[in-house]
Structure 1
Amino acid sequence: MDDTETLPESAPDEQDADIYGEDGAVKTSFLARVGAAIADRDVLFLRSHVGKLHQSELGHVLEALHSDQRSALVELLGDEFDFASLTEVDEAVRLEIVDAMPNQQIAEAVQDLDSDDAVYILEDLDQEDRDEILAQLPFTERVRLRRSLGYPEETAGRRMQTEFVAVPPFWTVGQTIDYMRDNDDLPESFSQIFVIDPMFRLLGAIDLDRILRTRRDTNIEEIMHETRHAIPATMDQEEAAQIFEQYDLLSAAVVDENERLVGVLTIENIVDVIQEEAEEDIMRLGGVGDEELSDSVLSTSRSRTPWLVINLFTAFLSASVIGLFDGTIQQMVALAVLMPIVASMGGNAGTQTMTVTVRALATRDIDIYNAGRIIRREASVGLINGVIFAIMIGLVAGMWFANVNLGGIIAAAMIINMLAAALGGILIPLLLHRFGADPAIASAVFVTTVTDVVGFSSFLGLATWWFGFK
């Protein structure tokens, strides 16, 4: 009996509910069965055990499969393939799958997606393919998608859903309810009904639960409330996420430059934005940009090279500082043993301050009004930690090399470098932000350089001065 017969077709849900292992990854046993079914072209197994998965689960399966298996799986699933699962995978995986599909098939699949999901997939395609796909869509849907794609990337206009419920203010609650019952083009889920004038300008909104609790003969304008948090379509998606967080919103209207309603942002969209922005910040702090695990070896190497080159030049700068004191190091080998400690402690302290500062800049918790206070705070923290660790390393070094003077020198250098690390960790991101650079990308290499240069020069310089080395 082969593997495909061990899973009864009558109970796929039982098996599918347990596709994840304890580590949160897709079970290798499940992937092995899927791989065997793909090799055997077992359509029944794949449609009953893979085609029924939730879009996020199917996305995880697609990412876990080998490259040649993904396109085969999509082909074998046919109409059972959930195209929305492509919004759950890395860009490289998504492009790989979509590039293998004819544009006509993509156009048919896009028609079944929410507009925000459709835009998410179409925006990665070449302009020629995108235009060919859009040309095959119904007029209304084509216009909606073109409008969303016309907004800059990572803006509210790119993220919004163009499916929403909008009614005039003179309608009654009863008319609104009947309209929603009879309309087949409503979004799958929504929490607000928007009120518009004949020019589609936004007048207000009504929560869905308010509609259900109000008499049918009540006019909409009597129960609508002003939408104080309408989001411009050109607003950066991160700013929109901050508005959702600040005001605990579940959805928000998106308007164009003329205050006309063009879409709606939902908490589902915003959760994706928050996750993407957080991942982006983490990756940029490491100097790897938008790298994904599914990227090729060459593209990964290419994306990491620029900052490694910059780091190489800054490393030469640190090495040149050490070279200035080569005579001192030759006369006291203990200096060579201890000087990495000063630089390492400063580097870690600077990274801590830098991380807090970059995050504060991203969340707008730091501005021109409180920057001075925060700088003084970080300098105080650096000074206190410097004194604490100076005492510790001074005692250890003094006993280790039986030289009290050496312990005092490294203690003094520790205080100087910890203070420099704190100041560098906050001032460098602030300066980069002030001049329009991304502090998440550029801060780390410069903060490390500052702590290395200050650490080596203070320690070796103090030793040269104290011991009178030439």
Structure 2
Amino acid sequence: MADPQIMNEAESPRDALEEGRLSGSFVGSVVAAIEAEDFEGARALVAPLHPADIADLFALVPETTRGLLAMAIGDALDAAVIAELDDYVRDDVLAEMSAREVAEVMTRLDTDDAVAIIEDMEADEQREVLDALAPADRADIEAALTFPEESAGRLMQRELVAVPETMSIAEVVAHVRAVTDPATDFWEIFVVDPARRPVGTIRLSWLLTTPPEIAVADIMQREQTLIPVDMDQEEVALQFQKYALISAAVVDGGGRLVGVITVDDVVHIIQQEAGEDVLKLSGAGDGDINEPVFSTYRTRSRWLVTNLATGIISATIIGLFSDSIEALVALAALSPIVASVGGNAGNQTMAVTVRALATNQLTEANTRRTIWREIRVALLNGLTLAALMAMGTTAFFGNAVLGGVIAFAMLFNIVIAGLAGVMVPLTLERFDADPAVASSVFVTMITDSMGFFLFLGLATLVGVEYLG
């Protein structure tokens, strides 16, 4: 028997949410019901939730509870919930299901969502699930898996509405009602020629407001954005953003219509790509708190070891000037400031450059102009900070020569940092490497090494006897 208190809570699903998120007390109530083996009570709590909130619930409960939660909610764990699950959480949930149960879920998903699920499975698990699918569904998914990862072919769904331009509006309406699955969502109807090449589109608003006897050819919009099946998903997102698309036809090498990409899929891609770039800049891997600990360790440790190596380079440069540092301790206190400010300046330029590359703002056409712009910004920043540092150092240490040395070092290092911040991502891009992955390591190495070298080198040239 379900706890009456639980049933009362279930009648008010909004009480489970705080600012759009599941409250800690609600999650605790669900976990408590499961631990008490009160599956009926847990089901009553979860039943009123939106599929996206149920997916969040799976991510918030302990890993050991996910299998029991799936068992408790039963039919509420439907295709809509599976499609919303975090990748790592979905793996845990699917592990509790048989291949036939997974296949049953996939038959109720759009092709793109089904592919997103199966592409992360091991080869033997993939084969089991594919064998359990109906031949038509299996053929669609296998065809999608032949396209490169993170391409339009993987992102597109094959469920769409296409009609010839010889039809009238009345015939289109009849056709849609006769052949379209009611579960299929669409915002545009694609008009194709006899070879199934897209020649135009009809918006649903036009279909509803145009007299039935009007021919499709008379109202369709002939200009449209076509997405090649092998286009990278990041470029697809840029096309949607640039042309304000709701949906777009995907075409194969022969220009034939093979699928459609809709804006709801692109929103996920934009969020995913933006998050990936930020995490790559820090070397944090996927950055998913549901990722297994050892997988996270492997990703982060690689970059930490690389940073350790670049740190050794900076330490070696400091060691070259050990005599100067011993003669004037102020050099040891001030040198990290030069390196740190240069590093921050380089990271600012690098972040702007990586974003410009990702959004196609920075191309071969404006590379030189962008480099010159960043040099000017670096000079202005360098002059400002150098002047402030010169005055501060002179006032604190009572030595204008020392203030001048650190000012020159800081100015040159900030200019170098600006150049490194734009040139390192550009260089990586030219060699077909992801500039978001390794830029920060190289920029930090350059700014730290040059900061120490410039300041300690200038101090040695001037002579420590004039700086004390």
TM-score (norm 1): 0.95
Amino acid at match of 1:60: D
Q: CA deviation at 1:227?
A: 4.5
Distance (whole Å) between structure 2 residues aligned to residue 89 and residue 64 of structure 1: 11
Amino acid at match of 2:134: P
Q: CA deviation at 1:116?
A: 1.9
Amino acid at match of 1:144: D
The sequence identity of aligned pairs, in percent, is 42
Q: Tell me if structure 1 keeps the 8 A contact 2:55–2:86.
A: no
Partner of 1:26: 22
Q: CA deviation at 1:65?
A: 0.6
Partner of 2:47: 51
Q: Within the alignment, does 1:276 sit opposite 2:235 as a pair?
A: no
Distance (whole Å) between structure 2 residues aligned to residue 86 and residue 408 of structure 1: 63
Q: Tell me if structure 1 keeps the 8 A contact 2:327–2:464.
A: no
* 1:314 counterpart (306, 310, 334): 310
Distance (whole Å) between structure 1 residues aligned to residue 341 and residue 353 of structure 2: 19
Residue 366 of structure 1: SS of its match in structure 2?
coil
Q: Deviations over 1:191-250 (max 9, x none)?
A: 101122343222221111111111112222222222531111111111111111111010
Distance (whole Å) between structure 2 residues aligned to residue 261 and residue 43 of structure 1: 47
Q: Which stretch has the larger CA shift, 237-246 or 47-56?
A: 47-56
Q: Within the alignment, does 1:42 sit opposite 2:42 as a pair?
A: no
Moved over 6 A (4+): none
Q: CA deviation at 1:187?
A: 4.8
Q: How does 1:204-243 map to 2 (within 5 A)?
A: 204-243=200-239
Q: CA deviation at 1:468?
A: 5.4
Q: Tell me if structure 2 keeps the 8 A contact 1:164–1:186.
A: no
Structure 1: gaps of 5 or more residues: none
Residue 263 of structure 1: SS of its match in structure 2?
strand
Partner of 1:402: 398
Q: Deviations over 1:47-77 (max 9, x none)?
A: 3321332221111111001011111111122
* 1:108 counterpart (95, 104, 107): 104
Residue 253 of structure 1: SS of its match in structure 2?
strand
Residue 369 of structure 1: SS of its match in structure 2?
helix
Distance (whole Å) between structure 2 residues aligned to residue 226 and residue 126 of structure 1: 43
Distance (whole Å) between structure 1 residues aligned to residue 183 and residue 226 of structure 2: 19
Distance (whole Å) between structure 2 residues aligned to residue 255 and residue 104 of structure 1: 32
Q: Tell me if structure 2 keeps the 8 A contact 1:289–1:441.
A: no
Q: Tell me if structure 2 keeps the 8 A contact 1:84–1:117.
A: no
Partner of 1:12: 10
Partner of 1:66: 62
| Corresponding residue pairs, total | 466
Q: CA deviation at 1:467?
A: 2.0
- For the aligned residues, what is the CA RMSD? 1.9
Residue 18 of structure 2: SS of its match in structure 1?
coil
Distance (whole Å) between structure 2 residues aligned to residue 201 and residue 42 of structure 1: 56
Q: Tell me if structure 2 keeps the 8 A contact 1:58–1:85.
A: yes
Amino acid at match of 1:453: S
Distance (whole Å) between structure 1 residues aligned to residue 75 and residue 146 of structure 2: 30
Residue 189 of structure 2: SS of its match in structure 1?
strand
Q: Tell me if structure 1 keeps the 8 A contact 2:390–2:406.
A: yes
Q: Which stretch has the larger CA shift, 426-435 or 83-92?
A: 83-92
Amino acid at match of 1:19: A
* 1:390 counterpart (383, 386, 389): 386
CA separation of 1:89 and 1:386: change in aligned 2, threshold 3 A: same
Distance (whole Å) between structure 1 residues aligned to residue 44 and residue 464 of structure 2: 81
Residue 364 of structure 2: SS of its match in structure 1?
coil
Partner of 2:257: 261
Q: Deviations over 1:323-351 (max 9, x none)?
A: 11000000000111111110110000000
Q: CA deviation at 1:322?
A: 0.4
Q: Tell me if structure 1 keeps the 8 A contact 2:424–2:442.
A: yes
Q: How does 1:55-454 map to 2 (within 5 A)?
A: 55-183=51-179, 185-454=181-450
Q: Tell me if structure 1 keeps the 8 A contact 2:195–2:256.
A: yes
Amino acid at match of 1:149: L
Distance (whole Å) between structure 1 residues aligned to residue 260 and residue 391 of structure 2: 63
Residue 16 of structure 2: SS of its match in structure 1?
coil
Residue 167 of structure 1: SS of its match in structure 2?
strand
Q: CA deviation at 1:398?
A: 1.0
Q: CA deviation at 1:20?
A: 3.1
Q: Tell me if structure 1 keeps the 8 A contact 2:335–2:455.
A: yes
Q: Tell me if structure 2 keeps the 8 A contact 1:205–1:225.
A: yes
Q: Deviations over 1:273-297 (max 9, x none)?
A: 0000001101100012324211222
Q: Tell me if structure 2 keeps the 8 A contact 1:166–1:194.
A: yes
Amino acid at match of 1:68: T
Q: Tell me if structure 1 keeps the 8 A contact 2:6–2:44.
A: no
Structure 2: gaps of 5 or more residues: none
TM-score (norm 2): 0.95
CA separation of 1:13 and 1:374: change in aligned 2, threshold 3 A: farther
Amino acid at match of 1:21: E
Q: Deviations over 1:90-119 (max 9, x none)?
A: 322111211221111111111122222211
Q: Tell me if structure 2 keeps the 8 A contact 1:4–1:33.
A: no
Q: Tell me if structure 2 keeps the 8 A contact 1:163–1:186.
A: no
